[in-house]
């Protein structure tokens, strides 16, 4: 079975999407629509901007979303997903690609999500850290013993977990995790505690926007971050999308479930190859590939 997976924040690069814009009239049209919807020329930043400009909150999330969704749309008839999943932000790309959300609504929600997260980050100093070489349970138990807010945020693959919370709690957790035998416990260069209770103000703001957006039944099951199970019901999809900002990304569990449900090939749609690397670490036997514009001629 064909599974399509969509990357999240951190996959951006200068020049992203330019090949699509230059080689597909449909892509060009969608990029122009995106500029109009967002009210600024995101294409200028994507195609010619510096790494620092691409890192701006209002740019990063919409840019990755656009790269993924527009690439999926240019694949034409060869894009026949039997299951989809996206890592954090990538879940929005997956929902649009699977027909549960319109392009315009998806982009508006991603833009609102980015701005709501930025506001939440400014309320209190918070951060994230990558923990390598410990079992999930050990990391969870140590985080639970630390004063302050620090929780497991991203279950990326076995032995790689990202924790999230207020700065001092994350620092103390990193020390405790190293003492417990972590190969590394490394602070990440992010401006906020994503997928933690500290995103509650952003969750509330995004909840209102999601509730007011029309969702349709997707063309195939989406394995959502919050549950790591196949979901097709629109109301469940909405509820999980709202919970996602303060709940962990269960990527390991999602991929394991997709394989259990018959996934044989994972195609990453969007910038970079991060998710393919994680899939291989979750299951060495899994087949992975990148979606490319040329796929269209393979029919």
Give yes or no for a contact between 230 and 141, defined as CB atoms under 8 angstroms apart.
no
Q: For a pLDDT cut of 70, what percent of the chain falls above it? A: 98
Give yes or no for a contact between 25 and 105, defined as CB atoms under 8 angstroms apart.
no
What confidence score (pLDDT) does residue 28 get? 97
Does residue 110 sit in helix, strand or coil? helix
What confidence score (pLDDT) does residue 89 get? 97
Average pLDDT value for residue range 39-49: 97
Q: How big is the chain, counted in residues? A: 299
Residue 249's alpha-carbon distances to 86, 155, 181, 221, in angstroms, are 10, 6, 24, 17
Average pLDDT value for residue range 263-282: 97
DSSP code per residue over 47-96: HH--HHHHTSHHHHHHHHHHHHHHHHHHTGGG---SEEEESTTHHHHHHH
Average pLDDT value for residue range 13-29: 96
What confidence score (pLDDT) does residue 126 get? 94
Give tens-digit pLDDT for 145-162.
999 999 999 999 999 999
Give one word for 212, left, alpha or beta, with left for phi > 0 and alpha for psi -120 to 50. Answer: alpha
Phi, psi of 4 (to 5 degrees): -110, 130
Active site residues: 88, 195
What does DSSP assign to residue 13?
Answer: -
What confidence score (pLDDT) does residue 295 get? 40
pLDDT over threshold 60, residue 299: no
What confidence score (pLDDT) does residue 294 get? 63
What confidence score (pLDDT) does residue 298 get? 35
pLDDT over threshold 50, residue 188: yes
pLDDT over threshold 70, residue 163: yes
The 3 state secondary structure assigned to 179-190 is HCCCCEEEECCC
């Amino acid at each position: 079975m064909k599974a399509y997976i969509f990357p999240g924040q951190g996959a951006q690069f200068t020049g992203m999407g330019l090949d699509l814009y230059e080689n597909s009239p449909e892509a060009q049209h969608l990029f122009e629509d995106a500029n109009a919807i967002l009210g600024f020329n995101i294409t200028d930043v994507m195609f010619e901007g510096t790494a620092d400009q691409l890192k701006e909150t209002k740019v990063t999330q919409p840019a990755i979303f656009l790269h993924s969704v527009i690439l999926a749309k240019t694949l034409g008839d060869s894009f026949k997903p039997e299951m989809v999943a996206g890592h954090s932000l990538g879940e929005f790309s997956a929902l649009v690609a699977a027909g549960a959300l319109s392009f315009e609504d998806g982009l508006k929600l991603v833009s609102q999500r980015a701005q709501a997260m930025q506001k939440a980050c400014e309320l209190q100093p918070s951060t994230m850290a990558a923990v390598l070489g410990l079992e999930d349970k050990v990391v969870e138990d140590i985080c639970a013993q630390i004063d302050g807010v620090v929780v497991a945020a991203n279950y990326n693959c076995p032995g790689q977990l990202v924790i999230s919370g207020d700065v001092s709690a994350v620092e103390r957790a990193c020390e405790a995790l190293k003492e417990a035998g972590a190969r590394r416990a490394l602070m990440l260069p992010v401006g906020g505690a994503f997928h933690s209770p500290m995103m509650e103000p952003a969750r509330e703001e995004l909840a209102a926007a999601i509730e007011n957006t029309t969702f349709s039944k997707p063309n195939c099951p989406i394995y959502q971050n919050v549950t790591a199970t196949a979901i097709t019901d629109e109301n469940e999809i909405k509820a999980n999308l709202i919970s996602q900002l303060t709940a962990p990304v269960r990527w390991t569990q999602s991929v394991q479930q997709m394989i259990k449900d018959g996934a044989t090939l994972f195609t990453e749609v969007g910038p970079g190859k991060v998710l393919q690397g994680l899939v291989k670490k979750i299951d060495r036997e899994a087949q992975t590939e990148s979606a490319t514009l040329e796929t269209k001629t393979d029919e």
